[in-house]
Chain A
Amino acid sequence: MSEFDAIVVGGGPAGSSSAIKRASSGLNVLLVERSDPPGSKNVSGGILWGKDLSAIVPDWEKNAPLERYITAKGTGFLTTDSMISIDFRSKKLEASKTGYSVLRAKLDQFLANKAKSSGATLVTGVTVDKLAFDGDRVIGVQQDGDTITSDVVILAEGANPRVAIDSGVRKPIDDQDIAIGIKQVIRLPESTINERFNLRGNQGFAGEYVLGFLQGTVKAGAFMYTNKDTISLGIVVNMSGLRENNSTYSFNIMEQFASHPFIQPYIEGGKVEEYSAHLVCEGGINSVPKLSGNGYMIAGDSAGLTFSNGLVIQGMNYAISSGIAAAETAIAAKAKNNYSSDFLSSYDTNLSANYVLKDMNTFRGIENVTWSNLMHKAVPGIAENVLFRMFNETGQPKEHLSSILMDSIRESKYSKSDLIIEAYRALRRL
């Protein structure tokens, strides 16, 4: 007889969502979080997209600690001298309210407390060391020499899943699976943020950029999100590019982004309140491990469940959705008293049926586009050159756009045929 129906390792969006769903169904759930309070080791590098929380916290849009709803979405390229971006602002985004900026220390604490009020036992400040096994069957977790038993364990540890790796249920992470996320939170008056970003009330801006000015093989993306009275400014650095270069400090890229001539004015006069870093899952479907086994399931970032095509970046909603799917499987397993790997594989089937694995399968290989030389090294410079020549009036006779483009490609160090092939590949995957 196990002490708990289920143990959830990790009180982030995946773990807490899973615990809320299970505890609400009457299961005896233990939610273990190593930070105290929950969320105090977590970092959001994105927007909370979608309405997945509605299934478990119906009043979340009213009561969860959300910062701003996104009505303006920016995406583009930064070069040393220029910003080239699309700035999409729409009353339609405002009406649908499908994206919120969030700060995780607050949000995760809210969700963990929801799990508690739903009936889960919440333990914080406790680090799980490993899974506990009986043969090849997971029977609980080990913590400081003790074993706590449960019928099923859900691993929702985030992007650096030590328990899963040290217990041998997923392979160690490598360069292709992750990127280095670095962020700073900058405080400014709410009215200043609204003026600078052209927002009213609780409207929010979310911008994501390719940093096209980095030296050598270094590649990074960057983000700028408005919170209520802070701005989240961050970068996501590709590990293999940084390794190959081996002369750029990751933390200096953060400073380069913050001091870019067209980013710095947004944060000018603001006070940096916090610096943080966190791994970001970037491996796409190819880095998703076996999602379940005998007595366990893996959810959220621990399972590499994130999505990024450079235009859309999602993770927290995948975490919530996968946490709920794991809970549904655990509830069904309890009803049948069957925790075998065969039965728990219905979790994989559930995820394949909802948008999480569908998206990841549809965009198989997208990471090769988002981190391509085309996107990071060729397009930013060519785009800058074309736009500068179009908009810069020199008093000379004007040229057709096509000839400016051809000139600009010629001046870049990329061959026209390489660019066409790479662009075709990229378009197919986007």
Chain B
Amino acid sequence: MEIEEKLALLNYKTDKSYEHITVNPNICETCPDHFCTFACPAKCYTLIEGKLNFKYEDCVECGTCIVACSHGSVSWSNPKGGHGVKYKFG
């Protein structure tokens, strides 16, 4: 089963006006490892033609990326109240 199909099972209340995680593209551009792309369990970080692409909408708020990025690019805040992923089972 592909990761995309698994993520499609999830319910989110997406906050369209606030990105709770931001990355600094200048830092990502010169990043030697792009470890975020391997670590993030929700495949929010991908390389498209060598450039890092980040989408916060699929984030499950685990916090992996803030630890994974050792270059200081990732800023992590909790989503504003009630927004983000909503598990049914947990």
- Residues of A whose CB lies within 8 Å of any CB of B are 34-36, 39-44, 103-108, 124-127, 129, 144, 159-160, 162, 166, 172-175, 177-178, 180-182, 184-185, 230, 239, 242-243, 245-252, 254-255, 258, 272-279
Contact = CB atoms under 8 A, between A and B. Distances in A.
A127 B81 contact: yes
Given A40-B86, A41-B86, A250-B39, A175 B67 contact: yes
Nearest to B5: A272
A-B residue pairs, 8 tightest by C-beta: A160-B63, A125-B82, A104-B90, A275-B6, A277-B41, A105-B90, A277-B62, A126-B81
Contact of A277 (B1, B64, B66): B64
Given A272-B6, A275-B9, A42 B81 contact: no
Given A126-B82, A243-B35, A250-B38, 11 more contacts: A34-B78, A41-B84, A105-B87, A106-B89, A175-B67, A181-B62, A246-B33, A251-B3, A251-B43, A277-B42, A279-B63
A273 B88 contact: yes
Contacts of B28: none
Contacts of A129: 77
B10 A274 contact: yes
14 contacts: A35-B84, A43-B90, A127-B78, A127-B79, A129-B77, A172-B67, A173-B67, A180-B62, A182-B41, A247-B38, A248-B38, A275-B7, A276-B87, A276-B89
Contacts of A39: 87, 90
A34 B81 CA distance: 5
A174 B67 contact: yes
B9 A272 contact: yes
A276 B90 contact: yes
